[in-house]
Homo-oligomer: A and B are copies of this chain.
Amino acid sequence: VTVYLVGAGPGDPELLTRKAARLLSEADVVIFDRLVSSEIVQEARADAVKINVGKHPHDGSASTDQSTINSMLVHYGRTGATVVRLKGGDPFLLGRGGEEVDALVEAQVPYEVVPGLSSSLAVPALAGIPVTHRGLAAHVTIASGHEVDGNVDWVALGALEGTAVLLMAVANRAEIARRMILGGRGSSTPVAVIESGSTAREHRVVTTLDSLGTIEVHAPAVIVIGDVAARIVDPEVVLFKELAQSWGEGPS
């Protein structure tokens, strides 16, 4: 294998898998994106080639487009170097890893996928939210909110019971909430918003589905919609005191 597509997890270096940590320490070339923390990238060898292919959420540098990333993977993969493509979260859950695999397969470059902890599940867990819980949610749906008129039928998602976890949904949160309510989700459904989850800047808010569009939210954020969201531990802001009271003796 020459190219490893590796999930870096939600941010905390201790939440890397042992396999990811080993490959990172061995790599000749590390190609990482904006959701990978610098602490993790620094674990690569000092003499490894390190390439940042995504803009950081807190500065203005431009992002590299997917086809360029694919070409880079093929280019370095063909040199026979050990290449680690380090992706925030998991490569195959909203990570576009499948497209990178397609490029490598077409170019006949050997590859291996190393799963990582997806922020969609790990960030709620670290905030005390079980995405499934007896009596509250029997299943969870994970979606990207980066397009509101793309391939997700938000009305149908609103008709489904259970938990919905949205990534990349900050900009479209008002319209997504509106469509989910149209589909049948209660407007007072609890919603947890976890900004910069698993980092020192983490910020937790709980609100309701009909208010999601009216509150201030800073990307990156994980948005959890459903009764389990009320189980969030130590939120810094609770909107709608009457709801907070009715949630009452929750475990937080």
A interface residues, how many (CB within 8 angstroms): 63
Residue A97 lies at the interface, judged by CB distance under 8 Å to chain B = yes
Interface residues of A in 38-83 (CB under 8 A from B): none
Is the CB–CB distance between B15 and A18 below 8 Å? yes
8 interchain residue pairs of minimum CB distance: A98-B130, A138-B151, A139-B143, A92-B130, A14-B19, A98-B133, A115-B122, A141-B141
A223 at the interface (CB under 8 A from B): no
- Tell me, yes or no, whether A238 is within 8 Å of chain B by CB: no
Given A139-B143, A141-B139, verify A101-B130 contact (CB < 8 Å): yes
In the assembled complex, the Cα of A152 lies from the Cα of B18 at a distance in Å of: 35
Q: Are B115 and A126 in contact (CB under 8 A)?
A: yes
Q: How far is the CA of A166 from the CA of B142 in the complex (A)?
A: 14
A17 touching B19 by the CB < 8 A rule?
Answer: no
A22 to B15, CA, bound (A): 11
- B159 to A117, Cβ gap below 8 A? no
Give the copy number.
Answer: 2
> Which residues of B are found within 8 Å of A92, using beta-carbon distances?
121, 124-125, 129-132
User: In the complex, what residue of chain B is closest to A10 when comparing beta carbons?
Assistant: B115
A164-B31 Cα distance, complex, nearest whole Å: 31
Is A9's beta carbon under 8 Å from chain B?
yes
State the CA gap A134–B21 with chains docked (Å): 28
Q: Given the interface contacts A139-B152, A159-B159, does A125 sit within 8 Å of B113 by beta carbon?
A: yes
Shortest beta-carbon distance from A26 to chain B in Å = 13
- Other-chain residue from B19, B101, B105, B121 in contact with A15 (beta carbon distance below 8 A): B19
